[in-house]
């Protein structure tokens, strides 16, 4: 009976370690942080692009702080008593709306203007 409890405890601890490291640290924290960096980079480029209205770029840029502040939810899984700010759901909803706006903006660009704006690599 004691060995069975030890085995169950060891499996539970191992699962928690893999979940926190692989799921939270790498999957969620690193993934969301890279998404914020990508969003800021694309938003800044969009501000200087003639293909997009500036408000579309600013829409994307305003989601970045919400997603960063929302990282507190991830820290709370490993730091007891860490203050949580529930900003991630709102940030992701606004980010998804931004992605739709980017797509609509690109569809509305006349083909001549789009061809003249491309850069040869």
Provide DSSP, 35-71: HHHHHHHHHHHHHT-TTS-HHHHHHHHHHHHHHHHTT
What's the whole-number mean pLDDT along residues 98-117?
Answer: 83
Rg (the chain; Cα; Å): 21
Which structure tokens are listed for 114? 């789009």
- The DSSP symbol for 28 reads I
What's the whole-number mean pLDDT along residues 45-69?
Answer: 94
Non-local (6+) Cβ contacts of 58 within 8 A are 43, 47
The pLDDT value given to residue 105: 92
The pLDDT value given to residue 37: 96
> Would you tell me how many other CB atoms lie within 10 Å of the CB of residue 95?
19
What's the whole-number mean pLDDT along residues 91-118?
Answer: 85
Instruction: Please check whether residue 63 is in contact with residue 91, taking contact to mean a CB–CB distance below 8 angstroms.
Output: yes
In this predicted structure, the answer to whether residue 2 has a pLDDT above a threshold of 70 is no
In this predicted structure, the answer to whether residue 69 has a pLDDT above a threshold of 80 is yes
Of residues 82 and 88, the one with the higher pLDDT is 88
The pLDDT value given to residue 25: 73
The pLDDT value given to residue 43: 97
The pLDDT value given to residue 118: 62
């Amino acid at each position: 009976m004691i060995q069975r409890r030890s085995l169950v405890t060891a499996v539970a601890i191992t699962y928690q370690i893999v979940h926190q490291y692989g799921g939270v640290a790498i999957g969620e924290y690193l993934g969301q942080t890279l998404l914020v960096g990508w969003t800021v980079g694309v938003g800044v480029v969009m501000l200087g692009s003639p293909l997009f209205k500036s408000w579309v770029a600013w829409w994307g840029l305003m989601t970045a702080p919400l997603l960063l502040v929302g990282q507190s939810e991830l820290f709370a899984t490993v730091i007891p008593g860490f203050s949580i700010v529930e900003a991630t759901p709102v940030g992701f909803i606004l980010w998804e709306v931004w992605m739709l706006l980017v797509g609509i903006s690109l569809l509305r660009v006349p083909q001549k203007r789009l061809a003249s704006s491309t850069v040869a690599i």
